[in-house]
Amino acid sequence: MKIIKRNGAEEVFDLKKIIAAIHKANESVEESCRLTDEEIDDLSDVVQHQCEDMGRAPSVEEIQDLVENQLMKYCAYELARSYITYRYKRALVRKSNSTDDQILSLLEFNNEEVKQENSNKNPIVNSVQRDYMAGEVSKDITRRFLLPPDIADAHQKGLIHFHDADYFAQHMHNCCLVNLEDMLQNGTIISETMIDKPKSFSTACNIATQAIAQIASSQYGGQSISLAHLAPFVEISRQKFRKAVTAEFESQNITVSQEQINNIAEIRLREEINRGVQMIQYQVITLMTTNGQAPFVTVFMYLHEAPEGQVRDDLALIIEEMLNQRIKGVKNEAGVFITPAFPKLIYVLEDDNITEGSKYWELTKLAAKCTAKRMVPDYISEKVMKELKGGDVYVCMGCRSFLTPDRFTDAGVDNIAKAKNYKKGVHKYYGRFNQGVVTINLVDVACSSYGNEKEFWKILDERLELCHRALMCRHERLKGTLSDVAPILWQNGALARLEKGETIDKLLYDGYSTISLGYAGLCECVYRMKNVSHTSPEGSEFATRVMQRLNDACQTWKKESNIDFSVYGTPLESTTYKFAKCLQKRFGIIPGVTDRNYITNSYHVHVTEQIDAFEKLRFESQFQKLSPGGAISYVEVPNMQNNLDAVLSIMQFIYDNIMYAELNTKSDFCQVCGFDGEIKIVSDEDGKLVWECPNCGNRDQNKMNVARRTCGYIGTQFWNQGRTQEIRERVLHVSNDMSPEKIF
């Protein structure tokens, strides 16, 4: 059995240390108040058994709590007082240098919690360590100086989660939709170098990737770009090639038809599209931002975003190449093609690509093949999104965060970002961003009310107000931010073209940007309150009322401040483990509620619940409507590469029923034996969950490539114990031999 030390490092459980600590406290009290050696041994054995029953690595703090509880049961009050006093004094000493201790554990590569905090960061790499070190300092400053004590305390206890505290000391926002069209068509500046409008498709792709790297280094969330903004440059290259081919034949005095010239030019154009798309894929993967990871880029593929005709057909060519290259994958160190984490791809299902025989049906079939092989693209239904977003269709920021529908254009708030591609009266999305997220732990609200519904609503309202104040801290931190802090964002077109010395304040109001009230654990919350799954009629009714309460709160705050608060289905990664540990510490083990080392993301059906893919998507669609700030649903599927008809059937169901969804498959490789399949999760001799190749038994994470979708995006650097348990317990929502006829 392992334990987690205060600095996050993992260590083997040592019963002797518990016995020694009790003996030390025992010697400090009157002899009449002391325990016998036998009593101390018995007490220590009980504590050990309690730790083993947790089914996870307990923290030192949890073990000390267990010791205190046992001392009280022995009525050894004087001894307990001595033990608690010593513990308090040591805590005061640690408090003075806790940040130093955290940083030192990072440098020694033994901070187990931070090592697996982000599934796309390798904590051994210097740039990642530098980012984590800066993050520890930022979190310390945030905790001690920048946040009100009650908010910092609520975050520490897991009542709420104040996201990205490691970046809060800086004036940085979360995620955005890059106005790539403005940057490419009207020029930009990168590293104080003027970049003119590109004169070919490949140059446009190159500029896009360079801009992405700088944008990603200037914020802490994901950034999204649209391939529609690159599509016009295909025609520029086409005309360029036609002129070049014509000149080549004329120089040789060869007479050819215009059709022949066009055919040759088209071959060269296809080669350029191949090079340009390859540039995007490989540069995004190989670029490393200042936070030590590849840019968290989402690529949007929406045919109707381009005008009908040649430009839309050219967009289809780019999408086709993007899908083909992702199907191929990228080579790992051994030269084997594997699934990359980025860029994330989103494909929009539309009326002219969703049915057999429609104009772009072959493109949709290619998307299905890509999903079966590489887990992407994810899918947005144009039909459903228009119903939920006031007739507009636009990409999410990062893995699921959605802007609120444009309300400032209709209200007469014109081009406040000073974008050069602004069109009066046309709804605007590119150039907008999210200010940040604070998440409420709904499971804690339910447990704190002990199943009393009247008390539940009272506590929920109190916690919502706590979240409101925390979100306003995020907002106030951005107020007064000068455009100079990130010129590529605020001055050179990515988000705005403000003047030097101008603040970004006006972009924080009128719905131009959003700020997100996240939520987690709706499933466990309902089970604690109603003792039924939230998929049952009674559970669903209560879950809907909870979600409506969150939305009502956001609407109230929005009216008070003219800031677009929005409910957001939080993609918990490491926090799912933190919340679970906090709940177990506060409330013990409650079956169906706190008995696992994770809680469920947002509104999702519990990963262990037996439900078919279509019923799951149908059920969860109602909660996407109640999560306007962002949400994504998924279905867990086996290897579907030989069953693309079933994949297409799921995609068609998505188009008709839910706004945003994805299919989770597996894509792993063992570098020891060459196994290409699903690498399994097993328990080692200490009860720790580890990854193991089913073919050769390899457990060395440095010698395997594992890709799993965990939070709406693909992770490739492994996960903490809570998330790993959640991955292991996922049930399939589609059987491997299911035909489209059986599905429906």
Q: Which positions are catalytic?
A: 174-175, 397, 399, 401, 434, 568, 573, 712
Backbone phi and psi for residue 725, each to the nearest 5 degrees, phi listed first: -65, -40
Q: Residue 515 burial (CB < 10 Å; 0-12/13-18/19+)?
A: buried
Contacting residues for 116 by C-beta, under 8 A, at least 6 apart: 574, 717, 718, 719, 720, 723
Contacting residues for 17 by C-beta, under 8 A, at least 6 apart: none
Cβ neighbour number for residue 506 with a 10 Å cutoff: 14
Continuous segment of H or E residues that includes residue 116:
none
**Three-class DSSP category at 346:** strand
CA distances from 101 to 7, 97, 117, 128 (A): 6, 6, 17, 18
As a 3-state breakdown, the chain gives helix, strand, coil percent values, each rounded to 5, of 50, 15, 40
Q: What is the DSSP string of 150-195?
A: HHHHHHHHTSEEETTGGGTTS-----EE--HHHHHHH-EEETTEEE
| Closest of 471, 191, 225, 507 to residue 344, by C-alpha | 225
Cβ neighbour number for residue 240 with a 10 Å cutoff: 17
Helix axes 537-561 and 453-478, enclosed angle (nearest 10): 40
Q: Where are the alpha helices (DSSP H) in 562-612?
A: 575-587
Cβ neighbour number for residue 295 with a 10 Å cutoff: 22
Rounded CA-CA distance 727/129 in Å is 26
177 bridge partner residues: 224
Rounded CA-CA distance 621/561 in Å is 30
Helices (H) and strands (E) in the chain, counts: 25, 23
Q: How many residues does the chain have?
A: 744
**Three-class DSSP category at 199:** coil
Backbone phi and psi for residue 176, each to the nearest 5 degrees, phi listed first: -160, 165
Rounded CA-CA distance 119/711 in Å is 10
Indicate the Cα dihedral angle 225, 227, 233, 235, nearest 10°.
-170
Token representation of residue 379: 């899918």
Rounded CA-CA distance 597/720 in Å is 10
